[in-house]
Amino acid sequence: MRRWILMVTVLLMLVGCTRHEKAVTLPKDLPDFVQESDFKLIDWDKKAVEFGERGIIGNEDKSGVIGANMPSLNTQKWMWHIWGIAEDRDTKLTIVGYHKDSKTVHPILVDGWTIGLGGPVNGADAHRPSSVKIPKPGEWAILLYVNESYFDTLIYDIHE
């Protein structure tokens, strides 16, 4: 009986020790205001949806993208739309990509992490076109920061 209890105890310890989750891999040039805890709060069930007359894909009345309806691994032009912010010519949008399976963080913009936002368009309070490149296929969380504060997350599935 003691052997059986000892074997079960050892087995439980081994199983418990092998269930470590992979840590999030952060690049060295990631802006300081982006926190590792931001990635733990991602709701993967809240997928981006199409809304409005212009085919914007995102979270209605918060953020969305024209051009994300055919996501691929090739460089593309996306137009970012942001609702719920005051119009300000100095507003900055930082865009951070997080790959679900590999738990890696990547810049999505082809030329850095941050772009300046323009004025209202398509009903949004601010917008900006940009070139984006998704590094690998899979499920992605695109975290958006406005003026260095977390704003929203867009969930996209990139296949090609």
* Per-domain boundaries in the chain: 36-158
Kindly give the pairing relationship between strand 126-132 and strand 114-116.
unpaired
| CATH number belonging to domain 36-158 | 2.60.40.3830
Residue-wise burial string across 99-131, b where 16 or more C-beta atoms lie within 10 A, e elsewhere:
beeeebbbbbbeeebbbebeeeeeebbbbbebe
Q: What's the whole-number average pLDDT of the chain?
A: 88
Residue 23 pLDDT class (50, 70, 90 cuts):
confident
- What percentage of the chain carries pLDDT values higher than 70? 84
d(CA 80, CA 86): 16
**φ and ψ of 5, to 5 deg:** -65, -40
Q: What's the pLDDT score for residue 74?
A: 83
Q: Is the pLDDT at 29 greater than 70, yes or no?
A: yes
The reported pTM is 0.84
Question: What phi, psi does 54 have (nearest 5°)?
Answer: -100, 5
How far is it, in rounded angstroms, from Cα 152 to Cα 62?
Answer: 7
Return the pLDDT at 14: 52
Total residue count of the chain as it appears in this document: 160
